[in-house]
Amino acid sequence: MKAFQIEDCRGDKGCPNSLCPSSKLIEKIDKIAQDMEIETFILKKVGEHLMGHNVFRVGIANCPNACSQVQIKDFGIIVKVKININLDECTLCGKCVKACFERALSIADNKINFNFNRCIGCGVCSKVCENNCINISEYGYQIFAGGKLGRHPRLAVEITPFAKESETLAIFEKILKFYKDNNIAGERVGAIFDRVKPDISSFNSHN
């Protein structure tokens, strides 16, 4: 068993919901962990008795369906998109409205209406639009940290709803530093969050 593990979804293996490949990001995440010697650090903390609840787990999902269960990982990444709607090209066919599970799109007053607060960035609407009036304007990552199962399960908390790749990697480095600075006996990030109660906003790459 490895003390540091990355779990991705099947997005790079032909999943129709995948928004973009994650293999390059996984390589960069893994390199940061190697450079910071996370595996060696954990093994020194737990000795020869490495258990599943000592493993630092990273989850990466290529779309908001989050099949890799990022919400129960120490560090979780969900690929998301922002969309742009060209109303001049819209024929009001309604395909995007039917495709949106979040009901972020509707037709009223003879035009498409977009509810930003309902959108989760899955990009399905852009895939079904035959007139190319709904386009992806930006790719990014929703970042979580502190999820785990075990005796005291907890869902990961959101660090930021949308980050660029460089920001994502910077946040990951901050989480690893916090983990190393506050780890007592190989506990998970969530357990350290509960004990230390850090200001979650401090992990944001802008801080």
CATH 3.30.413.10 domain extents, the chain: 4-80+139-203
Q: Please tell me the class of the 4-80+139-203 domain.
A: alpha beta
Query: How far is 207 from 155, CA to CA, in rounded Å?
Result: 23
> Phi/psi at 167 (nearest 5 deg)?
-70, -40
Burial class (CB in 10 A: 0-12, 13-18, 19+), 145: buried
Mean of all residue pLDDT scores within the chain: 94
Architecture of domain 82-136: 2-Layer Sandwich (3.30)
Q: Is the model's pLDDT at 206 over the cut of 80? A: no
List pLDDT tens digits, range 67-110. 999 999 999 999 999 999 998 889 999 999 999 999 999 999 88
Query: How far is 59 from 57, CA to CA, in rounded Å?
Result: 7
- How many Å is the Cα radius of gyration of the chain? 19
Burial class (CB in 10 A: 0-12, 13-18, 19+), 64: buried
Q: Is the model's pLDDT at 37 over the cut of 90? A: yes
Q: How confident is the model at residue 177 (pLDDT cuts 50, 70, 90)?
A: very high
CATH 3.30.70.20 domain extents, the chain: 82-136
